[in-house]
Structure 1
Amino acid sequence: MAASTATTPLVDHIVILVPHSFLSAPPSWFSEVFHFHSGGRHADGRTENSLVYLPDGAYLEFIAFVPGIDPADRATHHWGSKKEGTVVDWAVTLPSTAEDEAEREQEGAGKGDGRELRLEKLFREVQRKVREQNTGIVYGDLRRGGRTKPDGAILKWSVAFAKREDGEPLELGTVPFWCLDVTPRHLRVPFEEPGNAKHPSGVVGVAKVEVHPELSQTAERAKGVYNALFEEKQAEDEWKLSSLAGEKVHPGAVVSLGASDNPAKIDITFFTDDESWAGKSVGGKIDGENTLTFHLVATSKGK
């Protein structure tokens, strides 16, 4: 695997902040669109999630703060200030190498020590390429994270978030954060297990991630980061976005960048292989006041 290919991101997951009640009693519109799974509580004890696995290998993370969390504690969380009912962030990952697969066969869940070292080396290359763009946006170092699944299995990963070199805050989701598995990814994202990624709406994967920072200046800065991360440009301010198994189920995704001139937002469009759902916007209320909406388009392999 060439070095450039080894560091080209794959879409990993989309993060949607919801009220905690959404996890235990999702609204009816949600179950009519997606089949979802309980994820578990994160290692810091402040958040829990439910997951929607997609056939292209990506997934949706519906994350909520646990009931009774101290507001001051929530405020210190990475997504603590974000509005419920919105896409708050999105993550990319790196493809597995032949060494990873060999290690998986030998160790099962294992400790993943060899993979962790390889990921750190590859990610330093990512940091270098982004820094050399001189946009004022850089990636911080990897830091460990994890989650305990409902069955007691412990998942381990490393994450890295972008930041501005001048110390000013960078709007979340302007550029993707990184989520790199230490334990095998299939334990965290079992999308290939029978039935796990089959949905009533026929959704098969991510078609488009539209990132709209609040300020045009922020969008312009971020453009250099996208140029460093993604090898193939589809159009002005639009890049090809690959996924782990996307070529099996859809023609390929894109990520686009443009200022919103309003509060920052991220819009997500999904591929569906069910023509009766194509062209629709789906969603609804998630609580008494907030709503959530996604868009569906047909794949080239539609029914």
Structure 2
Amino acid sequence: MTEIPSTSTLDHIVFLSPPGTLGETRKKFVEYGFDVISGGVHIDGLTENLLVVIQDGVYLELIAFTHPIKHYPEGSEERSRRESHIWASKLPGWIDYAFLGTSPTVSKIINSRAREEGSGVRYSAEVPGGRETPAGRLLKWLITGPDPMSKVEGAASNGSLPFFCGDVTPREWRVGVPTGHAGHPNGVTEVAHLTILIPTKDLDEFERQLTSVIGHTPKVGPHDTRTWSLSTTTESRPPHLILRTPQDREEERYIRGRKGCIYKVAFQLTRPEGGLLSI
């Protein structure tokens, strides 16, 4: 029997900054105690990024649009591409997350599973992507994400369901290799979990959709919590994806207008006192 490629390997988590403020975001994450390295400009020229590589193989992509929409002439092709970008209407903060595309046909694997389960998920066919590093190296990958024409319109536009990034050039070119030290200055070596908030009325539907994508059912916990165990590219402890409903007014305010969204990312600390760093 042919082994089905994994669809649950956490690759990276995306943090958006307003256009022109990537330097300020670098400073913020350095203050959090992370080592931040340069990424580059994406092939479409619309976005640029910085990277925070965690020892477990997951990385944080600190991203910003290179220019605000008004920079591009009205009616121009560049203006159209900028306005139609999947993250064009996102509020700053954690906006999306990616799983590793371990097969060039991840979309077919998920779509087949979703049809059997009746979850309504449909992923678009893979399209090429890439960026050029500051050193001039051209990186290439294949991207697939929720089909905006499918039933999961809200998820596709709000980062509740992951997109997939499958490398054409070696992954270490894109990610870099953790330096082998005990972690970042803050003691972080692993992603512990990321939490997605969802309105109560959408919880059951999003649970079914995520199950079709990830490939296994979650553990059900108190307070409408659903938890999936993920994997990484290393032999680290598995990070977890937590789906739950808002628990207080602050969380209710956070998701207002966002539908489903990443609320917090927690990192494991390896200092003697242990604990978590939550951002």
TM-score range, shorter chain: 0.7 to 0.9
CA RMSD of aligned residues (A): 2.6
- Cα distance in 1, alignment partners of residues 15 and 42 from structure 2: 15
SS at match of 1:137: coil
Q: How many residues align?
A: 252
User: 2:227 aligned with 1:238, yes or no?
Assistant: yes
Q: Kindly provide the CA deviation profile for residues 101-152 of structure 1, in whole angstroms up to 9, marking residues without a partner as x.
A: xxxxxxxxxxxxxxxxxx2345422221123322223211111111001111
Q: How does 1:212-223 map to 2 (within 5 A)?
A: 212-213=197-198, 215-223=199-207
Q: How does 1:1-303 map to 2 (within 5 A)?
A: 3-4=3-4, 6-26=5-25, 28-32=27-31, 33-67=33-67, 69-70=69-70, 72-73=79-80, 74-84=82-92, 86-95=93-102, 119-163=103-147, 165-166=150-151, 168-170=153-155, 171-194=157-180, 198-213=183-198, 215-228=199-212, 229-231=214-216, 233-236=218-221, 237-245=226-234, 247-248=235-236, 251-260=237-246, 261=252, 262-263=255-256, 264=258, 265-266=261-262, 267-276=264-273, 278-281=275-278, 294=279
- Give TM-score, length-normalised by structure 2: 0.80
- Give TM-score, length-normalised by structure 1: 0.74
- Cα distance in 2, alignment partners of residues 36 and 27 from structure 1: 7
Shift of 1:227: 2.0
State the identity as a percent: 31
SS at match of 1:89: strand
Does the CA contact (< 8 Å) of 1:92 and 1:176 recur in 2?
Answer: yes
Does the CA contact (< 8 Å) of 1:145 and 1:158 recur in 2?
Answer: yes
Shift of 1:221: 1.6
SS at match of 2:158: coil
Q: Kindly provide the CA deviation profile for residues 163-195 of structure 1, in whole angstroms up to 9, marking residues without a partner as x.
A: 462484434221111111111111101123456
- Cα distance in 2, alignment partners of residues 268 and 167 from structure 1: 23
Shift of 1:79: 0.4
- Cα distance in 2, alignment partners of residues 167 and 224 from structure 1: 11
Q: Which sections of structure 2, spanning at least 5 residues, go unmatched?
A: 72-78, 247-251
- Cα distance in 1, alignment partners of residues 20 and 189 from structure 2: 26
